[in-house]
Amino acid sequence: MNLGVSHWQDGWWSRALRIDSPNFGERPSHAQIDLLVIHSISLPPGVYGGPEIEALFTNQLDWDAHPYFAQIRDMQVSSHFVVRRDGQLLQFVSCDKRAWHAGRSHYRGRDNCNDDSIGIELEGLEGETFEAAQYNALSVLCKMLLNNYPIAHIAGHEDIAPGRKCDPGAGFDWQLLQHKLELSNSFFPSARCDGKIIKKNM
Q: Report the catalytic residues.
A: 121
- What phi, psi does 104 have (nearest 5°)? -65, 120
B/e letters for 140-168, b = 16+ CB within 10 Å, e = fewer, are bbbbbbbeebebbbbbbbbbbbeeebebb
- Residue 8 has a CB neighbour count (10 Å cut-off) of 17
* Rounded Cα–Cα distance for residues 70 and 63 (Å): 6
In a 13 Å sphere around the CA of 141, the CA atoms on its Cβ side amount to: 34
The residues, any chain, with a CB within 8 Å of residue 120's CB and separated by 6 or more, are: 36, 37, 38, 39, 79, 80, 81, 82, 83, 138, 141, 142
Q: In Å, how far are 69, 81, 84 from 195, measured between CA atoms?
A: 41, 30, 30
